[in-house]
Copies of this chain bind each other. A is one copy, B any other.
Amino acid sequence: MKNILLIGAGKSTSSLIKYLRDKSEQEDLHITIVDKNLDLAEKIAKDHPRFSLQNVNIFNDEDRNNLIEKADIVISMLPARFHMQVANDCVRLGKHMVTASYISKELQAMNDEIVKKGLVFMNEIGLDPGIDHMSAMRVIDQIKEQGGKMLLFESFTGGLVAPESDDNLWHYKFTWNPRNVVVAGQGGAAQFLHAGKFKYIPYNKLFRRTEFLEVDGYGRFEGYPNRDSLSYQSIYGLEDVKTLYRGTMRRVGFSRAWNVFVQLGMTDDTYTIEDSENMTNRDFVNAYLPYSPTDSVELKLRQYLRIDQDDELWLKLEELDLFNGEKKIGIKNATPAQMLQKILEDKWTLKPDDKDMIVMYHKFGYELNGEHKQIDSQLVVKGDDQTYTAMAKTVGLPLAISVIKILNGEIKTPGVQLPITKEVYNPILKELEDYGIVFNEKEVEFQCYNPNFVAG
């Protein structure tokens, strides 16, 4: 029997737990799940003979040690900052480990010891990071094997609401941590490569530098740049690439309207607002507008940000009840970002029957036999319901599949790993197809930046 320890059983682990349950007989698994809140785990695996659900404080060294000692492999779904406590135990006790988080410097520093003990520490094997790495590397490796030279790589991911549940003007609902959405893009300029030039975008312009993306059968989306595109250059072996850009996908019009909050200053999470508890939505907006004894908040905002009165963007703001002078925000000592989050959560929370949707879009530009070519690769995954969301499937399934393949010795290269080698991505991407996670890859014309250029 192979023992799996899953630490953390939050919303994103439903598909992970279900996969392990469905494979438990065939693979002879025993799964121990540890969390303070076991509601989701109970829903999927309660009384199942191959599961043991435990409410244990994982930060107690002795309890954690005892649990890890009994396992063959440990899946840490804790917030990234807590992984190292688990990782230290796993190395000491000689256990494999899997996470969906970015590799930290501390973890990378343990690589030699992990290799020496023959352990596989697989990381960044969820959706983004995870499926993005695997699906990108599969195409990049194919292009290089044919003798192609990579020129361009762009990659976009979005966690959105499915079209059938899309009933607001922003075409957006929270399908993941709302706080991350509110503060997205803060903390430094976005940096990327475009046609051989380094480009920099400050936060205040981030949501005005979008590009359009057409997804077959789903229409038009937009992408705004992530902060960290350049770090992928060495990981993906794209040292000679001229364009390297990673971004976040939204429905068209989202970013332009979101920019209103950025320009006003409402996404700031670094200071608290005086008397936030008693402020209405309208007071909150007015705190960012010049004083006037006569002009309305609406007029001041339109003038300040030069918004035409018949601009559709305005309807998006109204839909959020942004100018409501009765509705109190009701949070003490709140930061602007926390106040904005509250306003958005009142409108952007998924309803019980709503489905979410994951969209991913890669563009691979390359040169082969003197010709410029391009492959576009698209993925759309919809949630089944509010338990088996698209987010839970795309994060949990690659994790779960990798766990079985590590236990079976199919994935065996020891050390601190990323899913960027064939040994890892080929079998996982293949099995993901059984779950409807299928990339649509097609050749398109090489992305030309000025197709309609007429000089003079």
Partner of A287, one of B188, B199, B294: B199
User: In the complex where A209-B290, A449-B291 touch, is A198 in contact with B263 (Cβ < 8 A)?
Assistant: no
Whether, in the assembled complex, A414 has its beta carbon less than 8 Å from a beta carbon of chain B, the answer is no
Complex: A191 Cα to B287 Cα, angstroms: 10
Given A197-B287, A198-B287, A291-B194, residue A268 in contact with residue B204 (CB < 8 A): no
Kindly list chain B residues whose C-beta atoms are within 8 Å of the C-beta of A274.
198
The smallest beta-carbon distance between A273 and chain B, in angstroms, is 7
> Is there an interface contact between A265 and B202, defined as CB atoms closer than 8 Å?
yes
Q: Out of B189, B263, B449, name the residue touching A204 (CB < 8 Å).
A: B263
A235 within 8 A of B: no
CB contact between A199 and one of B199, B201, B291, B455 (< 8 Å): that residue:
B291
Min Cβ gap A269→B in Å is 11
Whether the pair B336, A200 counts as a contact (CB closer than 8 A) is: yes
Q: Which of B191, B294, B336, B449 sits near A293, CB closer than 8 Å?
A: B449
Q: Would you call A218 an interface residue if the criterion is a C-beta within 8 Å of the partner chain's C-beta atoms? A: no
- A146 sits at the interface (CB 8 A): no
Which residues of chain B come closer than 8 Å to A205, judged between CB atoms? 263-265
Question: Contact: A291 with B197, CB < 8 Å?
Answer: yes
Distance in angstroms between the alpha carbons of A278 and B289 in the assembled complex: 42
Q: How far is the CA of A209 from the CA of B201 in the complex (A)?
A: 23
A55 at the interface (CB under 8 A from B): no
Min C-beta distance of A194 to chain B, whole Å: 4
B291 and A195 within 8 A (CB): yes
A197 and B286 contact, CB distance less than 8 A: yes
Q: Quick check: is A292 within 8 A (CB to CB) of the other chain?
A: yes
User: Which B residues are CB-close (under 8 A) to A200?
Assistant: 265, 273, 287-288, 336
Q: Report A49-106 residues with CB < 8 Å from chain B CB.
A: none
Interface string of A347-358 (1 = CB under 8 A from B): 000000000000
Residues facing B in A362-394 (CB within 8 A) are none
**CB closest chain-B residue, reference A203:** B204
- A453 CB contacts on chain B under 8 angstroms: 293-294
A180 at the interface (CB under 8 A from B): no
For this complex, 12 residue pairs linking A to B, each with C-beta atoms less than 8 Å apart, are: A188-B268, A188-B271, A195-B293, A198-B274, A198-B287, A200-B288, A201-B265, A202-B263, A204-B204, A205-B263, A292-B450, A293-B449
Footprint of B on A, CB under 8 Å?
188-189, 191, 194-195, 197-205, 209, 262-265, 268, 270-271, 273-275, 286-294, 336, 449-450, 453, 455
